[in-house]
A and B are shown apart, each in its own frame.
Chain A
């Protein structure tokens, strides 16, 4: 039977546009995944509630605002609180290299900075989601 990979793509924070998130959403769709796209300005609470209701395998968060060090670990912590720490968490966007180890220590499986080919993200999800 077909075991569909489902991914929530979210763009939290108050800043700007969601072009990057949309590019990722399309790449994942073209790789045969179901992408739940929630649009701009999501709070961590909204992201987590949506991830649970949609029973996603992965939450991919795109951030441009520089608030990654608070937002990403917050989402990871809330997922854990719900007993959903098995959901794969990925971060992307403008994230300085020196912040990445901190994020990896705080529940984020991988961080993708601008210029990463979308195929890498697809690969990462397929590798880490075992269905």
Chain B
């Protein structure tokens, strides 16, 4: 997989996203090329400016000669299964830059969870030679949290005037931020927002990293470089001692569980005797606990016959 062959990269991503079989060999090979990229998860409330800010940060890195991959995730409609993926609207200048590759993803109804799918896309871009990878998701919902958590650095994008919403977001989401951007600092209330967030962050005593808070305005092009510096400070922090290794091991554990779940689900639920046993359970000729034993037994004999 080469960075200079975007069509090949794009096609492998589609194959993985659609769950098409037959790409494991390619992914296996690719795996050994991964681990170089600095992965930055970008999250925050809808409309906070995540895409606009990602665009600016990506430009900053491109100007330093880096290759940048961007994965932008938007929700899939639960009614039709379709989606409108609009994050590229804020990134049009980057589109034709040969050092940038942008991919939009719908959350779809993934088997092994959305996290598993974004993880593979991240690996493909990493293996293809990205130096920096941004993953943008809206900061609502468990699977979105899981995705950004799988980053080396989590950038939380906030805006003035969230007020009590900050308190309600606190549970589960605010804790994962390593760097906070208060975007739209051109609007009133930015100072207040900064104080609120800083206050909140000081109540996380168990952390050895106190998240940095940076005011930015994409509109007025202020604070971007400082924000990039804050992200780099976090990266340097990770590089000290074995923090990066610990964090990546945690992430790799989650990713491995997702992949395993995905594969087992496919083999145990969508193939084989699952439906037959289900019928028998409904007819009360089999109990669910024995059915599970039988499924696992099927899997074992299947493997022996391989």
Chain A residues packing against B (C-beta within 8 Å): 1-4, 6, 25-26, 28-39, 41-43, 45-46, 49-50, 52-55, 82-84
B81 to A: closest C-beta gap in Å = 5
CB distance from A5 to the nearest CB of B (A): 9
Interface centre among B21, B80, B88, B96 (most CB of A within 10 A): B88
Contact A29 B82 (CB under 8 A): yes
14 of the cross-chain contacts (CB-CB < 8 Å) are A1-B18, A1-B19, A3-B20, A29-B82, A30-B77, A31-B80, A32-B80, A33-B82, A36-B104, A37-B84, A37-B85, A53-B101, A53-B103, A54-B10
Please name all residues of chain A whose beta carbon is closer than 8 Å to the beta carbon of B11 when the two chains form the complex.
55
Interface size on B (CB < 8 Å)?
34
Question: Of all chain A residues, which has the CB nearest B19?
Answer: A1
B80 touches A83 (CB 8 A): no
Main secondary structure of the interface of B (DSSP, over half): mixed
B17 interface residue per 8 A CB criterion: yes
Indicate whether B38 reaches chain A with its CB closer than 8 angstroms: no
Determine whether the beta carbon of A2 is less than 8 Å from that of B89: no
Q: Is B168 close to A, CB under 8 A?
A: no
B48 is an interface residue with CB less than 8 A from chain A? no
Chain B residues near A1: list those with CB within 8 A. Answer: 18-21
Interface Cβ pair total, 8 Å cutoff: 94
Is A83's CB under 8 angstroms from B108's CB?
no
CA distance A106 to B96 in the complex (A): 24
In the bound complex, what is the Cα–Cα distance between A35 and B106 (angstroms)? 9
Give the shortest distance, in Å, between B295 (CB) and chain A (any CB).
21
B82-101 Cβ-contact flags toward A at 8 Å (1 or 0)? 11111011001001100001
Asked whether B204 is an interface residue with its Cβ less than 8 Å from the other chain, the reply is no
A43 to B95, CA, bound (A): 10
Say whether B102 faces chain A, with CB atoms less than 8 Å apart. Answer: yes
Residues of A within 8 A of B101 (CB): 53
Does the CB pair A52–B88 fall under 8 Å? no
Taking a contact as CB atoms under 8 Å apart, the answer to whether A50 and B88 are in contact is yes
Residue pair B103, A26 in contact (C-beta under 8 Å): no
> Measured between C-beta atoms, what is the minimum distance from B34 to chain A in Å?
19
Residues of A within 8 A of B7 (CB): 52, 55, 82-84
With A29-B77, A39-B89: A2-B108 Cβ-Cβ less than 8 Å? yes
Complex CA gap A72/B103 in Å reads 24
Which residues of B sit under 8 angstroms from A30, Cβ to Cβ? Answer: 77, 79-80, 82
Q: Which residues of A contact B102 (CB under 8 A)?
A: 50, 53-54
Contacts of A31 in B (CB 8 A): 80, 82
Interfacial chain A residues near B103, Cβ < 8 Å: 53-54
Q: Say yes or no: A53 contacts B96, CB within 8 Å.
A: no
List the A residue with the shortest CB-CB distance to B69: A53
Q: Are B85 and A55 in contact (CB under 8 A)?
A: no
CA A57 to CA B7, docked complex, whole Å: 13
